[in-house]
Amino acid sequence: MKISVQVNEGPYQHQASDSAYNFVKAALEKGHEIFRVFFYHDGVNNGTRLATPPQDDRNVQQRWSDLSKEHELDLVICVAAAQRRGIVDDGEAERNGKDATNIMDGFRISGLGQLIEAGVQSDRLVVFGD
């Protein structure tokens, strides 16, 4: 089965990101294809490389990045939500006159069209968070 996932909550304020991560990992282990993971609303905070959780806590951003590398996942951050929350890649930094970037390896910024495509191309679109 081809599955896409939408994550609407940040990594440490809600269970949604952990649940989405565990769902994606389990789906991959069962042989399903993950077409795309789309981070929307506060979910875009899963894609910042500047978070530094305590050493005895899980690093949600790193988990997503590692899973992306291991399985060649398409982790997409909504551009409008990213701009509101200060998540910046090279292209957005240049377009908006910012002097730094903070996007985690394995993530990319794009528009809502990527979410629509994920829904059309997948057998299921599973949403985590409000």
Whichever domain contains 73, its CATH number is: 3.40.1260.10
Q: Which of these is catalytic: 7, 78, 81, 103? A: 78
pLDDT, tens digit (0-9, with 9 covering 90-100), for 106-115 = 999 999 999 9
Structure tokens, 104: 């985690």
Indicate the number of domains in the chain: 1
Active-site residue flag, 40: no
Structure tokens, 116: 């629509």
* Average pLDDT, rounded, for the chain: 96
pLDDT, tens digit (0-9, with 9 covering 90-100), for 49-96 = 999 999 999 999 999 999 999 999 999 999 999 999 999 999 999 999
Q: Which strands sit side by side in the sheet containing 33-39, from one edge to the other?
A: 107-110, 75-78, 33-39, 2-7, 124-128
Distance CA 74, CA 44 (A): 14
Range of the domain at 23: 2-128
